[in-house]
Structures are given as C-alpha cells and as structure tokens.
C-alpha cells in the first residue's frame, strides 16, 4: 500500500476480470467477482486481464485500475509502438495497444453511448452513420503512429528534464521522443536539453508556416534559461504574477493556414492541434450549413476567427458575421485576421453575457465551438430563439455534445447530421460536428 494511503485503500490490489465495454475517458468497464466496478486502462473489450487498482478504497463507487497482465488478448490488440506507453507510464495516449481501426470503433461506441445515455438519441436519430473518420493521411497500418500533435506541453521534473505527465498524476515520465508529436515539434529537440527552474515547456510548430515557438513556465522565483534549440524559434514566458504570456524574443504569434486564409495565433492561443483539423472542420461545418449570399451568421467561442472567416467568404458583401470570444488576445487576433471584411464584427466577452447585450433577435446561421464543458442550457435556449435555419455545433467532448443536444431538443431543434472525426489518434478524444435544424411541428 502506498505511503499515506488510507487504511481502507485498495490501491495495489489485483483482480482477474473479464473486460466489458469501452467507456468515455480511455478505459473499459469490468466487474470483480464481488461486483465492484473497475475502470480499466490498457485493456480492450472481451479480454481477460489481471487489473491492478490505481485509485479507490472500500467506500469508492468505482475503482480505477491498469491491466498489468493480459491473460486472453483481443484480436484488436497490438504491442504498443511507443516505449513510454503502458501501466504507470506516460498518460498522453490511451489506445497505443489497439489497432488504428479498433481505436476508431471504440471512439464510435463512446459517441453512440453518450448520445443514447445523455440525449436519448440513436445514431440514426442523430443523422450519424456510426463511423469515426480518420484525418487525411492518418490511415496507417497497425504499429505505425501518425505524427499529428503540433502542440506539445512538456512537464519538467526536478532535475530539469522534459517529459510528459503520467495518467492522473503530477509525476513526470521523462522521454526522449514523443511518437505522436508533429515533425516540426520533434525537430526542436526539447527532450534533448535541460530546463533548470522550469515547470513546463510548450512547443508549438505551426502547420501553416515554418513558425516555431516555445512557451516557458518558470517555477516560482526561477530565471529563464538561455534557449538554444535545434531550429529557429520564438520564446515566450508565462508570468508568475498574472499568468499572462509575454514575449521574450521573436514573434509573439505563429501563422496558421486554413480554408485558403492565413490566421495569426498569438501567445499560445487556441488552434486545432492536428494539422488537418482546421480544414476538416471548416469543410464539415460549411457543407452542413450551406451558407447563402446575404446570410447573417454568428460564430460563438470564435477564437482567432476560423469559422467567422469561412462564413464571411461565403455570405458575401450583403451578409454579416458576428464573432464572440472571451479571450482578449484571441479577439485581437481575430480582428487582425478578418480586418479585410467590413461585414465581420468581433465582440469580446463570455457568450452567455455578450450575446444578449448585442440585441440580436434573428440570424440565419450559427456556429458554436464551445470549450470542453459545452455551451450549457442557458446559452442553448437563447440560441434557439434566434430562428436560425441551421446550427453547426463543433464538439471536442461527446458527453457535452450529447447534453447540449438534449437541451436543443427541448428548445425545438433536432440534429440533421452528425459526423465524427479521429483528430486525436492514440488518445480517447474525438471531434464531432452536429448540424441542427428546427424540428417540424406536429400538424
């Protein structure tokens, strides 16, 4: 039993179990002979494994565990390509031990279960064919790993060595190379050098340009090291006092490219991590909305203006687009990125507060790309009063999507189509785009 664990702790206990279905979060569900529920990582449905408890005690509703021995393996199991994957190791990936096609099937099962459980929708009712589509170029044979992660936040241990955090832990797993890191991140060589006094080092490799950036978060009172990496790079730091990001040298932004437009993204602001994600999502949203010349549209949680720019191109001079974003720097970037469009306005504020202030009572189209927690009932109800012909909901969390779809249904909107994309290979994350339209009233 670990030091300081409560007397009732079950950490370290081992159970031989039959592994059941996949669950949201990168694990599968199993039950002990006594009926205890285990959330088991590093397992696959249908396997028989020895599961070692990593969290939980006699009073817990469920226990977390790792599959430490596989007694009866699934046909979908492969040996993890990454040497840092496995029980007690790096927590960055969830499905290194599963064939790529199996990973997508598991993600599809999670999306379907969340829709059923939280929205009361079958895949057919959601307009979804049940598939999770890989990004262009990511359909690789088992054992090969797509290098997709254009932003990697390395944790730094007490010795100054960079690594990645272990699952649900502050402990650092030192690594020599992250297999899912994009080539532009890997070529910086962050893992090769020491980072004394740093708590974390975020490496960014823009996919729309050759811009490279590192963002340093010092430990309290530490001085910045001299940054000498293998490629030219801009350096920013996170200030201890206010948490703000400030330029040390080089550009304070990177340039990204999507939908034939260049976007400035400053101070480590949000941009889709997979190099194909921005174009994939813009395509899915525009195909779903089918904007017309003269339409009025909202882009909510608009970031640096990705969807606002795509909408502005398509609604023409007689159309209008309003973007709302809470982050000050992202608003500055969005205004810069879209300054060529007189028909675009960007407002700063939280959507639930800023949207009512605009006085808008009617729009043709809405795009919302909320944070992981979702939009929430209040915002969904407000959006449903605006009479939009179609609404595009971009979701990075299927549970939040399903909850909000239930709120939309209560407010008179139903899904027309839903598409799911595997934009985070090897992890449990999945991106969805739902297109909603007003539900037909009963005659």
Question: CA-to-CA distance for 198 and 220, rounded, in angstroms?
Answer: 9
What is the CA angle 224-93-59, rounded to 5? 100
Burial 110-143 (b: 16+ CB within 10 A, else e): bbbbbbeebbebebebbbbeebbbbbeebeeeee
Rounded Cα gap, residues 363 and 398, in angstroms? 26
Q: What are the two backbone dihedrals, phi and then psi, of residue 150, each rounded to the nearest 5 degrees?
A: -85, -5
Structure tokens at 229: 């990496």
CA-CA distance, 220 to 197, in Å (whole number)? 8
**Cα pseudo-dihedral 174, 175, 179, 183, rounded to 10:** 110
| Active-site entry in 82, 93, 178, 396 | 396
Instruction: Give the DSSP letter string of 184-240.
Output: HHHTT-GGGSB-TTEEEEEEEE-SSSS-EEEEEEEPTTPPPPP---SS--EEEEE-T
Q: Of 68, 113, 63, 110, which is closest to residue 89 (Cα–Cα)?
A: 68
Q: Which two tokens stand for residue 20?
A: 């059941």
Question: Which burial class, exposed, middle or buried, applies to 195 when counting CB atoms under 10 A from its CB (0-12, 13-18, 19+)?
Answer: buried
In the annotation, is 178 catalytic? no
With beta carbons less than 8 A apart as the criterion, state whether 413 and 387 touch: no
So which residues are the catalytic ones? 396
């Amino acid at each position: 039993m670990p030091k300081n664990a409560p007397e009732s702790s079950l950490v370290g206990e081992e159970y031989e179990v039959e592994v059941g279905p996949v669950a949201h979060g990168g694990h599968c569900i199993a039950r002990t002979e006594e009926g205890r529920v285990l959330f088991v990582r590093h397992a696959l449905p249908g396997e028989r494994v020895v599961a070692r408890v990593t969290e939980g005690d006699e009073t817990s509703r469920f226990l977390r565990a790792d599959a430490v021995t596989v007694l009866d393996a699934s046909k979908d199991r492969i040996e993890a390509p990454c040497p840092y994957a496995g029980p007690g190791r790096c927590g960055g990936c969830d499905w290194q031990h599963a064939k790529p096609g199996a990973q997508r099937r598991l993600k599809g099962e999670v999306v379907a279960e969340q829709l059923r459980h939280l929205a009361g929708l079958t895949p057919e009712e959601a307009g979804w064919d049940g598939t999770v589509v890989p990004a262009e170029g990511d359909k690789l044979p088992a054992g090969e790993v797509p290098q997709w992660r254009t932003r990697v936040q390395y944790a730094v241990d007490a010795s100054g060595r960079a690594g990645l955090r272990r699952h649900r832990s502050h402990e650092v797993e030192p690594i020599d190379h992250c297999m899912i890191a994009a080539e532009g991140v890997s070529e910086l060589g962050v893992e090769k050098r020491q980072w004394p006094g740093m708590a974390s080092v975020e490496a960014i490799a823009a996919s729309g340009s050759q811009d490279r950036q590192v963002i340093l978060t010092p430990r309290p009172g530490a001085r910045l090291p001299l940054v000498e990496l293998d490629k030219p790079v801009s350096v920013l730091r996170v200030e201890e006092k206010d948490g703000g990001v400030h330029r040390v040298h080089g550009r304070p932004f990177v340039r990204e490219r999507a939908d034939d437009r260049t976007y400035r993204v400053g101070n480590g602001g949000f941009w889709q991590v997979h190099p194909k994600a921005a174009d994939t999502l813009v395509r899915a949203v525009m195909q779903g909305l089918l904007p017309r010349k003269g339409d009025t549209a909202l882009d909510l949680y608009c970031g640096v203006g990705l969807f606002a720019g795509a909408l502005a191109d398509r609604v023409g001079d007689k159309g209008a687009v309003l973007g709302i974003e809470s982050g000050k720097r992202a608003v500055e970037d969005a205004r810069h990125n879209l300054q060529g469009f007189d028909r675009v306005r960007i407002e700063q504020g939280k959507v639930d507060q800023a949207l009512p202030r605009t006085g808008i009572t009617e729009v043709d189209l809405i795009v919302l790309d909320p944070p992981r927690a979702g939009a929430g009932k209040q915002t969904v109800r407000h959006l449903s009063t605006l009479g939009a012909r179609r609404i595009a909901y971009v979701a990075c969390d299927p549970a939040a999507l399903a909850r909000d779809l239930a709120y939309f249904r209560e407010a008179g909107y139903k899904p027309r189509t839903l598409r799911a994309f595997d934009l985070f290979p090897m992890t449990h994350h999945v991106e969805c785009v739902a297109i909603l339209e007003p539900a037909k009233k009963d005659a």
